[in-house]
């Protein structure tokens, strides 16, 4: 049994409503029996326009050579799916990465039948590390609380995946993983929630003054 811990990096967004765009997939394959990392996957993805802005490259530690080797979203996500085994568990730190994959795959017509056995491991590890904290804790905070020295650079997909895998291995015997399948209902629910959020009115920061 293998557990794949993955992390996504996105194009920096500056406008309200701007769609998320994945620019890096980093992942580690953990052998559950030996509690060790046995393989890694990393790929850069070039947006539709063919260029990654300098602000995004700086944020995710992507250089010009990396951009030359970047592939289209379809090639990148299909390469990731092909690297997985049928019974692998997919894990990430927080549920946002799952939502970004669903969102972009559906928008770009990429099949999601490979995206199964997903688990957000942040709540379980966060509760073990800091039981008094009710909100989601960041990866950096979790590593510090666990006494784990971070590998590489923050906001680089493969490095964040390695660090998350280290946390998973530390608590592997106390984490429950569940099998599941991506369904049409999951996808529909995701987009329905997006529509509700988009239609939700923005409350004014100050009460409206009534005319005398």
pLDDT value for 212: 35
pLDDT value for 118: 98
> From residue 71, how far is each of 38, 45, 67 by CA, in Å?
25, 5, 9
pLDDT value for 16: 57
Dihedrals phi, psi of 70, to nearest 5 degrees = -70, 150
Q: Provide the greatest CA pair distance for the chain.
A: 74
pLDDT tens digits, 20-34: 799 999 999 999 999
Please state the pTM of the whole predicted model. Answer: 0.86
Structure tokens that stand for 44 in this block:
């850069």
Domain 2-186 has CATH 3.40.50.2300: no
- Where the chain has pLDDT below 50, the residues are 196, 198-212
d(CA 83, CA 136): 29
d(CA 131, CA 20): 32
């Amino acid at each position: 049994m293998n557990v794949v811990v993955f992390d996504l990096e996105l194009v920096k967004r500056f406008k309200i409503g701007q769609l998320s765009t994945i620019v890096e997939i980093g992942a580690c394959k953990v052998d559950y029996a030996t509690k060790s990392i046995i393989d890694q996957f990393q790929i850069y993805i070039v947006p539709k326009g063919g260029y990654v802005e300098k602000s995004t490259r700086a944020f995710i530690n992507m250089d010009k050579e990396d951009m030359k080797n970047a592939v289209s979203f379809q090639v990148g996500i299909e390469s990731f799916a092909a690297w997985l085994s049928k019974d692998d568990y997919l894990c990430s730190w927080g549920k946002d990465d799952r939502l970004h994959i669903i969102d972009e795959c559906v928008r770009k017509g990429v099949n999601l039948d490979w995206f199964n056995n997903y688990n957000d491991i942040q709540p379980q590890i966060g509760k073990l590390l800091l039981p008094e904290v009710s909100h989601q804790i960041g990866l950096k905070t979790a590593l510090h609380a666990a006494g784990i020295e971070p590998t590489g650079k923050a906001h680089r997909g493969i490095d964040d995946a390695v660090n998350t895998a280290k946390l998973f291995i530390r608590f592997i015997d106390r984490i429950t993983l569940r099998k599941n399948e991506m369904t049409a209902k999951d996808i529909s629910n995701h987009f329905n929630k997006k529509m509700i959020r988009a239609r939700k009115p923005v409350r004014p920061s100050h009460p409206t003054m009534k005319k005398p």
